[in-house]
Amino acid sequence: MTQTSRWHVVALLTAATAISYFDRQTISVAISSIQRDIPVSNTQFSQLQAAFLVAYAIMYAVGGRLIDTLGTKTGFALIMLWWSLACAGHGLATSFGMLAVSRCLLGMGEGGGFPAATKAVSEWFSARDRSMAMGVINAGSAIGAVMAPPLIAITIAQLNWRWVFYLSGSIGIFWTLWWARAYNTPTAALSDVAAPGGSWLKLLTYKQVWGLVCAKFLSDAAWYFYIFWLPKYLYDARGFDTKQVGYYAWIPFAASGVGALLGGWFSSFLLRRGVPLNSARKWALGLSAGIMPAAYFVTQSPVEAAIVLFSIAFFGQQSWSTIVMILPADLFPRNVVASVAGMVGFGGAIGGVVFGLLAGYMLDHGSGYGPVFAMVSSFHVLGFLIIMLAIPRIEQLQPVDGLGAN
How many Cβ atoms from other residues are within 10 Å of residue 15's Cβ? 20
Report helix, strand or coil for 13.
helix
Using pLDDT thresholds of 50, 70 and 90, give the confidence band for residue 400.
Answer: very low
- Name the pTM for this structure: 0.76
For residue 118, the one-letter residue type is: T
**Are the C-beta atoms of 77 and 179 separated by less than 8 Å?**
yes
Q: How far apart are CA 108 and CA 53, in angstroms?
A: 9
Report helix, strand or coil for 363.
helix
What CATH number is associated with residue 215?
A: 1.20.1250.20
* Domain contains 403: no
Q: How far apart are CA 337 and CA 330, in angstroms?
A: 9
pLDDT in tens, 96-114: 999 999 999 998 888 888 7
For residue 122, the one-letter residue type is: S
* Domain contains 316: yes
Taking residues 342-348, what's their average pLDDT?
Answer: 87
Residue 403 has what pLDDT?
A: 52
- Give the residue numbers spanning the domain of 362: 3-183+195-390
Q: How buried is residue 378: exposed, middle or buried, by Cβ count under 10 Å (0-12/13-18/19+)?
A: middle
* Domain contains 402: no
Model confidence at 215: pLDDT above 70: yes
Using pLDDT thresholds of 50, 70 and 90, give the confidence band for residue 191.
Answer: low
* Domain contains 399: no
Task: Return phi, psi of residue 239, to 5°.
Answer: 70, 25
* Domain contains 20: yes
How many Cβ atoms from other residues are within 10 Å of residue 131's Cβ? 32
Q: How far apart are CA 153 and CA 157, in angstroms?
A: 6
Residue 2 has what pLDDT?
A: 45
Q: How far apart are CA 167 and CA 17, in angstroms?
A: 17
Q: How many domains does the chain have?
A: 1
* Domain contains 140: yes
Model confidence at 120: pLDDT above 70: yes
Model confidence at 261: pLDDT above 80: yes
pLDDT in tens, 43-64: 888 888 888 888 888 887 787 7
Using pLDDT thresholds of 50, 70 and 90, give the confidence band for residue 398.
Answer: low
Taking residues 120-145, what's their average pLDDT?
Answer: 82
**Are the C-beta atoms of 54 and 104 separated by less than 8 Å?**
yes
* Domain contains 251: yes
Residue 255 has what pLDDT?
A: 92
pLDDT in tens, 159-187: 888 999 999 999 999 999 999 888 877 65
Q: Which of 152, 121, 210, 136 is nearest to 24 (CA)?
A: 152
Q: How buried is residue 101: exposed, middle or buried, by Cβ count under 10 Å (0-12/13-18/19+)?
A: middle
* Domain contains 404: no
For residue 139, the one-letter residue type is: A
Average pLDDT, the chain: 85
Phi-psi region of 368 (alpha: psi -120 to 50; beta: other; left: phi over 0): left
Using pLDDT thresholds of 50, 70 and 90, give the confidence band for residue 278.
Answer: very high
User: Among 11-15, 289-293, 358-362, 387-391, which stretch is predicted with the lowest mean pLDDT?
Assistant: 358-362
Using pLDDT thresholds of 50, 70 and 90, give the confidence band for residue 4.
Answer: very low
Using pLDDT thresholds of 50, 70 and 90, give the confidence band for residue 293.
Answer: very high
Q: How far apart are CA 169 and CA 163, in angstroms?
A: 10
Beta-strand (E) ranges in 139-275?
A: none
Contacts of 90 (CB under 8 A, 6+ apart): 26, 27, 99, 102, 103, 106, 162, 165
